[in-house]
Structure 1
């Protein structure tokens, strides 16, 4: 298994999602190792958020820029309250949507004990309570905060199966808890509540549902260039091939990723179902990589509800790369 200061390991162990496997995974986390595990959104790459060496291992394994902060996963609201300061509005949203695919950015409590590498030196912390039963069991077995970005090389396609994790990070992390495919398929919605509510990243909970819960509109004009939360890099979630969006047909040499009436070589959802499309998005991008697609055309996807999150991921996947 991976040692605290070694970011490569000769073998990444596939752990079953049973009591023995989760106990072993919790032990590895406690020893400063890296464990990938399923959430309802995507697989996360977990490390003890209190151990700087362990958190540094996340950045090294992913090749992730250190100015890009991480989400901390905890088992419940009480655990989150030990790390950040909740406003009444934040508590209202947490009680309505946790456990679930919502990340809240809130002021970091003094003495929270979270490594500054997690926050990228900011005075805020992104925190969420995942709903996936395996993630819940692991967090309770570990008994502490777990920093966990998506378990993929930085900028590449997010993983929704254990096999995706092994393809991208095999040999660089200690283990993967195999919990089958993720149900939601896109990362959590990120909401900054340090002042007026600001949508930093569209995700698994539609912005419309959050606005209905608080009776107020979200500020969606967060494209300031500053990286204040995970998932805000301009180029992210990228397959190896170039992507052209809002295509109704493929050009010569392109593979078409369809949606609804636009029936491509692959389809996010032939029925035009946004929930199905979100669940299939990253798996389809992984399949396009496996097909060695060099040019990809993507059918239009409606921008409402989960479509906002899908279009966010697609636009970042299609962005120019360094």
Structure 2
């Protein structure tokens, strides 16, 4: 029999509990602990993106290695300017069209940043989620390393209960934002090469991406 869940769980449908939960989650993230938060795709497990120990704890909780690096969620469009070497016009166009939303952008990260997200080869995957709880937390904490709230090989959690069942006490605070709906992953576009490359088609289709950046997208 599994041990009962004892970590703090906050129902974000209640305004008072939502504020208590956001404050607790922000304290936990700033203190190097892991939190589970709702996003517009599936539930995420996250931590301070600049805390390498916390990122390693996140990977350990998911039972995966640094060969599968963690993406970063941001709370505003302008945040990325301090995180990457440069923001190409194609990135600006995709941000204006789809952020906040289901598009993740891979860019070269600024070499001055002291973070360790796994084997990223000098890049970072960035996204701004379309979920009020996630955005409030990100604006309080800053950029967060976030991955789907599941252990490796299992389906991503679409409810907080599914996240608890898989991650248990490895997470300090759980934020319950209700069911996430259909567990659709984000679309990933790599903008580090000569032309945009589609790494994964998710909530936004390849055709929608091409409408914004032109027909030169690489789908290989």
Task: Settle same-fold status: TM greater than 0.5.
Answer: yes
Match of 1:213 in 2: 212
Match of 1:12 in 2: 7
Q: Secondary structure of the equivalent of 2:147?
A: coil
Within 1, Cα distance between the matches of 2:204 and 2:21?
30
Q: Which residue of 163, 169, 172 maps to 1:171?
A: 169
Question: Contact between 1:44 and 1:148, CA under 8 Å: does it hold in 2?
Answer: yes
Q: Secondary structure of the equivalent of 1:148?
A: strand
Worse overlay, 30-39 or 84-93: 84-93
Within 1, Cα distance between the matches of 2:25 and 2:118?
24
- Cα distance, 1:119–1:60 mapped onto 2, change above 3 Å: closer
Task: Give TM-score scaled by structure 1 length.
Answer: 0.63
Question: Contact between 2:24 and 2:173, CA under 8 Å: does it hold in 1?
Answer: no
Question: Contact between 1:40 and 1:185, CA under 8 Å: does it hold in 2?
Answer: no
Question: Contact between 2:111 and 2:122, CA under 8 Å: does it hold in 1?
Answer: no
Q: What is the Cα deviation at residue 121 of structure 1?
A: 4.5
Question: Contact between 1:102 and 1:190, CA under 8 Å: does it hold in 2?
Answer: yes
Output one character per residue of 1:143-168: Cα deviation in whole Å (capped at 9) or x when no partner.
Answer: x1100010100121001110110111
Output one character per residue of 1:36-69: Cα deviation in whole Å (capped at 9) or x when no partner.
Answer: 1010000110011101111011011110121111
Unaligned runs of 5+ in 2: 13-17
Q: Secondary structure of the equivalent of 2:59?
A: helix
Match of 1:108 in 2: 109
Q: Secondary structure of the equivalent of 1:47?
A: strand
- RCO (CA 8 Å, sep 6+): is it higher in 1 or 2? 2
Q: Secondary structure of the equivalent of 1:69?
A: coil
Q: What is the Cα deviation at residue 112 of structure 1?
A: 2.6
Q: Secondary structure of the equivalent of 1:170?
A: helix
- Cα distance, 1:122–1:89 mapped onto 2, change above 3 Å: same
Q: Which residue of 188, 208, 215 maps to 1:190?
A: 188
Structure 1 residues 133-148: aligned runs within 5 Å:
133-142=132-141, 144-148=142-146
- Cα distance, 1:104–1:119 mapped onto 2, change above 3 Å: farther
Is 2:38 the partner of 1:38? yes
Q: Secondary structure of the equivalent of 1:126?
A: strand
Larger CA Rg, structure 1 vs 2: 1
Worse overlay, 67-76 or 210-219: 210-219
Task: Give TM-score scaled by structure 2 length.
Answer: 0.91
Q: What is the Cα deviation at residue 183 of structure 1?
A: 3.7
Match of 2:150 in 1: 152
Question: How many residues matched?
Answer: 209
Match of 2:51 in 1: 51
Q: Secondary structure of the equivalent of 2:125?
A: strand
Question: Contact between 1:101 and 1:188, CA under 8 Å: does it hold in 2?
Answer: yes
Within 1, Cα distance between the matches of 2:153 and 2:211?
32
Question: Contact between 1:184 and 1:204, CA under 8 Å: does it hold in 2?
Answer: no
Q: Over aligned residue pairs, what C-alpha RMSD do you find? A: 1.3
Is 2:71 the partner of 1:71? yes
